[in-house]
Structure 1
Amino acid sequence: MSRSARAGGRADLPGATTGSIPAYQRTLAHLTVRARLLTAVVMLAALAVMITGGTAFALQARATDARIDNSLARAVAALRSVQAKKDPSTGLPFTTVRAVLYEGVRNRVPGKNEGVVALLNGLPVYWAGPQTRAVQLEQDLALVAALAAIPADAPVVARTISTPETQYRLIAVPVLLDADPVGRGLFVVGFDRAAERSSLGSTFVMYSAVGLAALAVIACVAWFVVGRLLRPIRLLRDTARRITESDLSERITVTGKDDLSNLARTVNAMLDRLERAFGSQRELLDDVGHELRTPLTIVRGHLELLDPDDPDDVRATQALALDELDRMQRLVDDLMTLATADRPDFVQSAPTDVGRLTDDVHDKARGLGHRRWVVAARADVTVLLDAQRITQAWLQLLANAHRYSSPGSTVRLGSEVSGDRLLLWVRDEGLGVPPEEAERIFERFHRGQADRLSHGAGLGLPIVAAIARAHHGRVFVEHPPANVGRGVVFVLDLPAVDLVDGEPRPVTELVEYL
């Protein structure tokens, strides 16, 4: 056999192709979620109806058999009572089996679906009584043959015999007398078991009809209920279809409080984040294009006007180009910092001695320029934070204080714990921040008048805010009271995570150092 033929043979094996998927699975795969849930609900309800009905039928059938067996036991007791008495016709003990059978049949009043028959030496005998028998056992020849085959020493127990006519539940009592050695009698009381259960069957036919009607009602109700429950998913689908790259304003209308409604709220929150992210991205690209275009234009203009034969002009143009390239490099570095601020690994927290960190930042700040650098407060505690990122943010605030204050003025820095918060602050004696710009200064590429004069990119304070957010904190600006002096205060408000050996100070202490 060729290799291709063998390969083809393997492809035809069960499970080798998608054609081996059961038909019901392929059908379910094409149904909607609403139809699948409705199918599952109806199938579970139908299963519950079947199990309940079957269990009830079995219990009722058992109860019917128990009632028949109880009646048969009473018939045996009645025959024993008759046999223990005297023959009414002679007033003496019974001398013939026939007389015992006659008296037993005469004293038995058959109930509904009940019959009585006596066999003498294998042949049925019957004596008519005042009651009309509902079941004539002697007319069922197959039953008579089965009864004739019962041995004389057979145990007296209830038994079930089926014939072409019907099914019987009966008891056969052998009758033997020492005074009549040739007589062998059999007293039989039997019930038409099928007839006894016929009423039970009709009851459960009605139950089945009611069950089918209930399933229809359940299906209708489930259709509307499932549709109501899945409404947030349909709204989610329709909203997702309407969302485009340029329009992320669509939102799902949510009114409930169930799990699907919570899913819709989560998707709305995700759309909010995406809209902000895309908006920030577009704003970032616009601002970056504007910020990078300026130094490129400057460098291009000077290169076009460069006189290659003039050494002084070449050196001046080179210095200007390098300065603009340095500014572009700083801008790119700041943008990279902001781009990674939302990553989980942006902050590497570790136990940090805040007092030592305060002193280290103070030592580094003295290299920024001629100012009077003062540590006004020091928190001698150990908390969980990223020392390098906090140092970067703190030095940025100190660099701003140096930029906007006069030479020889005082710049204070401090750290302290207030409750469960760690406060790191910087205060200068400059002109301060106008109230209308107090919130906007932490936005990307926002520059105040002083920034525009110094050609700042407007990314320093946004980086500080990003570092604070990465620590689950914030940065804010305050102005000291008029009687304390001019200037501005920048505060890094961070959670004091894993505080060790620290005594919290009240917030009012912050004012004492300002």
Structure 2
Amino acid sequence: ALLDQQKQLVMGYSAIADDALMRPIEVAGKTVGWLAVTPFQNVTEAGGERFRQYLVRTSLAVGVLSLLLAMLIAWWIARTLLDPVKRVAAATHRLAAGEYSNRVSVASNDEVGQLARDFNQLAHTLERNEKMRREFMADVSHELRTPLSVLRGELEAIEDGVRTLDPSSMKSLQSEVSMLSKLVDDLYELSLADVGALTYRKSECDLNELLDSCVAMFLERCNARHLRLKLELPTTPLRLEADPKRLQQLFSNLLENAVRYTDEGGVLRISAANEADVVRIDFLDSGPGVDADQLPRLFERFYRGETSRNRASGGAGLGLAICHSIALAHGGSLSADHSPLGGLWLTLRLPRNA
């Protein structure tokens, strides 16, 4: 390093220590400056110190920048993620209060968006179940009120002397009581099926015999309405593990549905056959038919089509619901489609080893 006369730095290495080698610069016998040489070890240590200070400054700058970036990301997350979650939470409170029509807008395809979609699906399901519950209660009250009103009217007429208590009036009263009793029994069976308490005693049974006996019970009614009943069974017995009483109840309900809702002079066709690991039974009838949008709802309780298959034909709309429940309890399925004969085509599939 070059120093002036007072040993102040002019240029060169600035960190001059006491161990530096000093040599004067003389001009005409007068010292005008100094030349200082610092030992090499001191120079390297000073370079390391400068490098350390540089790292400290750089680390501080990076730390401050990272902190600012973290604050920015936190603000973005709070705005992007927490706001939708807050909206879902608020909607959940409204849903818990009974506002089943409440929905949340979906603005993304991430996990929060999936949460909003799941919430909307839950709200839709609860709204539909609430609507079905109200309709169910209204239908139950209507179905119970109708025979009770008839019974009350008949009894009041007999009490006032308008009608006499003869075999005809007794038959009418008995018919209404039977209808009321069947409705209560069907509702009881459906309630047991809902909680899984409906008893099933499965054993090996012959499906041909069950279908033959059920068809024999409806022959007289079919003849009275001029319905042609065709039963097509294979020559070999169709054996499966099932509850024969429940299957007989299922077949009777399906036949009851076909006989009740088929126009006079129509055709009923029943066929059964083995299909892979299941037994398939088809119930087909002639007109009137069912609209395509009504097919998925035929197994709902109290549901009837609004055209020819309606309340005027009798029944409470529980028969197919019971059939569907029995089929599911046996590990099978019951589906509906348009019949090539012009009416309804019900297909029952039952596993041979349920």
TM-score bracket, normalised by the shorter chain, equals: 0.5 to 0.7
Structure 2 residue 323 is matched with structure 1 residue 464:
yes
When structure 1 is superposed on structure 2, of 223-232 and 461-470 the one drifting more is 461-470
Q: 1:315 to 1:498 in 2, by over 3 A?
A: closer
Structure 2 residue 144 is matched with structure 1 residue 292:
yes
Cα distance between partner residues in 1 of 2:15 and 2:279 = 94
* Matching residue within 425, 429, 432 for 2:282: 425
The residue that corresponds to 2:56 in the other structure is 204
1:231: how far off?
A: 4.5
The residue that corresponds to 1:47 in the other structure is none
1:229: how far off?
A: 3.0
Cα distance between partner residues in 2 of 1:345 and 1:200 = 79
> What amino acid maps onto 1:392 in structure 2?
Q
TM score, norm. by length of structure 1: 0.48
> What amino acid maps onto 2:318 in structure 1?
L
3-state SS in 2 of match to 1:331: helix
Cα distance between partner residues in 1 of 2:48 and 2:288 = 100
Structure 2 residue 353 is matched with structure 1 residue 491:
no
Matches within 5 A, 1:350-361: 356-361=206-211
Q: 1:438 to 1:230 in 2, by over 3 A?
A: closer
Asked if 1 retains the 8 angstrom alpha-carbon contact of 2:16 and 2:38, the reply is yes
Note the alpha carbon deviations across 1:218-260, whole angstroms, 9 max, x for none.
2212321343234442332243355487752232222433223
Matches within 5 A, 1:213-228: 213-228=65-80
1:279: how far off?
A: 0.8
Cα distance between partner residues in 2 of 1:323 and 1:362 = 27
The residue that corresponds to 1:53 in the other structure is none
Flag the structure with larger Rg.
Answer: 1
Asked if 1 retains the 8 angstrom alpha-carbon contact of 2:157 and 2:163, the reply is no
Aligned residues: 318
* Matching residue within 184, 208, 213 for 1:363: 213
The residue that corresponds to 1:240 in the other structure is 92
Q: 1:332 to 1:419 in 2, by over 3 A?
A: same
The residue that corresponds to 1:180 in the other structure is none
Q: 1:192 to 1:293 in 2, by over 3 A?
A: same
When structure 1 is superposed on structure 2, of 282-291 and 223-232 the one drifting more is 223-232
Q: 1:411 to 1:267 in 2, by over 3 A?
A: same
Note the alpha carbon deviations across 1:138-164, whole angstroms, 9 max, x for none.
xxxxxxxxxxxxxxxxxxxxxxxxxxx
Structure 2 residue 125 is matched with structure 1 residue 273:
yes
1:293: how far off?
A: 1.3
Cα distance between partner residues in 1 of 2:161 and 2:334 = 55
When structure 1 is superposed on structure 2, of 225-234 and 213-222 the one drifting more is 225-234
1:214: how far off?
A: 1.4
Q: Which has the higher contact order (CA 8 A, sep 6+)?
A: 2
Cα distance between partner residues in 2 of 1:128 and 1:247 = 91
Cα distance between partner residues in 1 of 2:151 and 2:80 = 65
Q: Mark the runs of 5 or more structure 2 residues left unpaired by the alignment.
A: 1-12, 24-34, 223-228
Cα distance between partner residues in 2 of 1:498 and 1:222 = 61
Cα distance between partner residues in 2 of 1:457 and 1:274 = 25
Asked if 2 retains the 8 angstrom alpha-carbon contact of 1:423 and 1:491, the reply is no
Q: Mark the runs of 5 or more structure 1 residues left unpaired by the alignment.
A: 1-110, 118-126, 136-188, 481-485, 501-514
Note the alpha carbon deviations across 1:135-193, whole angstroms, 9 max, x for none.
8xxxxxxxxxxxxxxxxxxxxxxxxxxxxxxxxxxxxxxxxxxxxxxxxxxxxx88997
Cα distance between partner residues in 2 of 1:433 and 1:478 = 10
* Matching residue within 438, 454, 475 for 2:335: 475
Matches within 5 A, 1:391-406: 391-403=248-260
* Matching residue within 290, 304, 328 for 1:446: 304
Note the alpha carbon deviations across 1:449-491, whole angstroms, 9 max, x for none.
57645532222234334555775744214333xxxxx574532
Q: 1:265 to 1:382 in 2, by over 3 A?
A: farther
* Matching residue within 327, 331, 334 for 2:179: 327
Q: 1:491 to 1:416 in 2, by over 3 A?
A: farther
TM score, norm. by length of structure 2: 0.66
Over the aligned positions, Cα root-mean-square deviation in angstroms equals: 4.9
